[in-house]
Chains A and B, each alone.
Chain A
Amino acid sequence: MTTMIAPASERRLKNHTSIGDTVRNSFTMAYRGLLKIKRTPEQLVDVTVQPILFTLMFAYLFGGAIAGNVAGYLPTLIPGILVQTVITTSVVTGVQLREDMDKGVFDRFKSLPIARIAPLSGALLADTIRYGIATTLTFVMGYVIGYHPSGGIGNVVLAALLVIACSWAISWIFAFFGVIARSASSVQGISMIVLFPLTFLSNAFVPVKSLPEVLQWFVNINPISHLVTAVRELANNGAVTGDVWISLLGAAVIVAIFAPLTVRAYMRKA
């Protein structure tokens, strides 16, 4: 307080936030998210233990039954379990957002002249780190037990990026639940009820032909199936199929619907 404060009448003020400001604010909020991860590394347990445990479990449990042996099952399983793991991880985004919003610091964010969306988009952006960790560990685990995708490293990276991008988009759904729910545990509850059928009633773990007809119909329209197929084709064959574009389009639609909904709910809750 050594300097005198400029009076209100001498300040240059504007009543809107530019796109540049919005991006800058979001990245600052993402930096906050990364710092929080650094301070509480224990919250990374789900993205480190789950990929290793589930990959091992599913490979040895179902490998023999579904594909005759574990090695033959891996090209089917790894892309499937990758999608399932990373999307499940995006639920945590909603849960943590709910916990975060209950803290006093969100009152300050609301009182600052920043883009309204920044506290949300920043948190979601920081969580792509978590998806990155889960993706890497799943592929590494797969490699260790004998998964050697013939698409090559470049296509595996592309597939990884596709999964991360889609999970980021899907995390807006859980962010929405996070904003409207009363408590963190209810976010977890609602999200799991949505996710369990979506991830398991897909082509992630079993050949679609083995399913009853009604189920086949659902599995084929399930967006998760398209993402799994896209990842499989990319990683295993190095082929960019229509499923890639369907997945990206789906992701864009989800963001277009849920980002504004979430921000509006967040503002109303203010």
Chain B
Amino acid sequence: MSASTRFPEAGSGAARAASVAGADWAIEAHGLVKTFGSNRAVDGVDLNVRTGSVYGVLGPNGAGKTTTISMLATLLRPDGGEARIFGHDVVAQSQIVRQLIGVTAQFASVDETLSATENLIIFSRLLGLSRAESKRKAAELLEEFSLTEAARRPLKKFSGGMRRRLDLAASLIAQPPLTFLDEPTTGLDPRTRTQMWDTIRRLVASGSTVLLTTQMLDEADQLADRIAVIDRGRVIAEGTSDELKASVGTSSLQLRLDDQADTDDALRAIQAVLGVAGTASPEGARITAPMADADRVTDLLVTLREAGIRLAEMSVQKPTLDEVFLTITGHGAEDQNDSSDADPRETERVDA
């Protein structure tokens, strides 16, 4: 299920904004370029993000995701091209753009030595809230992000998930209509990842446009209305998650048989029911078959039971980011920091 069907508010937000002239694009970027020495970290990126939508930027390490976000968020000055946030130029009107965005960077942009409350109060004060308002806002955000209990503890004792939540909370003080999330779930365990996804969905439901980067196809699929695949500083594919997946191919069904002797029978059943050829792994007992229509797997399972073939394990393998890359570019999603001197910001962070 995609985020847009689950959260109709997000869609209606786009429709509402579209009625206001000139306000239907949250981000318009054309030919963005950023070079570090001889390395073109971002090499002509075009992005158009509709107001009220969730936009995913998908790519491996060093593909230029962070650099692109940094330029859109006025942290880096583009070497070429132009970008507008809600119609405001990121270079000429940077101070206006900063009033419209919230940025959650890949590595928590909060003060380690201070407590969660102190961090939020300082950011609130900087954003022009009064002392009393800042205190209230900090308490409110801590409550909302389930950090109230840890509010007074110094951040050094925070877990990765808590830090990310605090970081996101800090980005939302001014309730920006556009939020950048740079790999919001990288390094989180599955449970905190799901929590983060829920938080992002609530954020979208409240009317914010979100641009997020990720290395995981699954995450983009879960959250984003549209996805851009970025590789070596260029957008190599763009579309809805369905369009993207259709271009990559289908998921595959994996079966492990209880009794290896049944392998041939099982392969015959797959051919008969699914109409495709399965492949048995060399060590036997394991069969992989492309799964175009999930509905027909039910028929296959019934057939297998009737034939007395017992399954030890069954799973579905989704297309991975690596397969997306393989299909679109012809090379895998290897870490691109190895190639020449990559974006120093990202290299540094990878080392850290």
Contact = CB atoms under 8 A, between A and B. Distances in A.
A39 B208 CA distance: 36
Nearest to B176: A5
Contact of B113 (A39, A108, A114): A39
B254 interface: no
B36 interface: no
B123 to A, nearest CB: 7
Contacts of B118: 35
Contact of B125 (A5, A31, A109, A270): A31
Interface stretch (A8-16, A69-77, A226-234): A8-16
Given A9-B23, A13-B100, A107-B103, A112 B206 contact: no
A105 B110 contact: yes
A149 B42 CA distance: 65
B126 interface: yes
Interface residues of A, number: 40
B125 A15 contact: no
A242 interface: no
B142 to A, nearest CB: 14
B172 A1 contact: yes
Contact of B127 (A4, A31, A112): A112
Contacts of A212: none
Interface of B: 16-17, 20, 22-23, 26, 51, 73-77, 85-88, 93-96, 98-103, 105, 107-114, 118, 122-123, 125-128, 144, 154, 170, 172, 175-178, 202-203, 205-208
Q: 6 smallest A-B Cβ distances: which pairs?
A: A8-B86, A108-B109, A113-B98, A1-B206, A5-B207, A104-B109
Interface of A: 1-9, 11, 13-17, 21, 24-25, 28-29, 31-32, 35-36, 39-40, 103-114, 118, 270
Given A4-B206, A15-B95, A39-B113, 7 more contacts: A8-B23, A13-B88, A13-B96, A35-B113, A108-B109, A108-B123, A111-B109
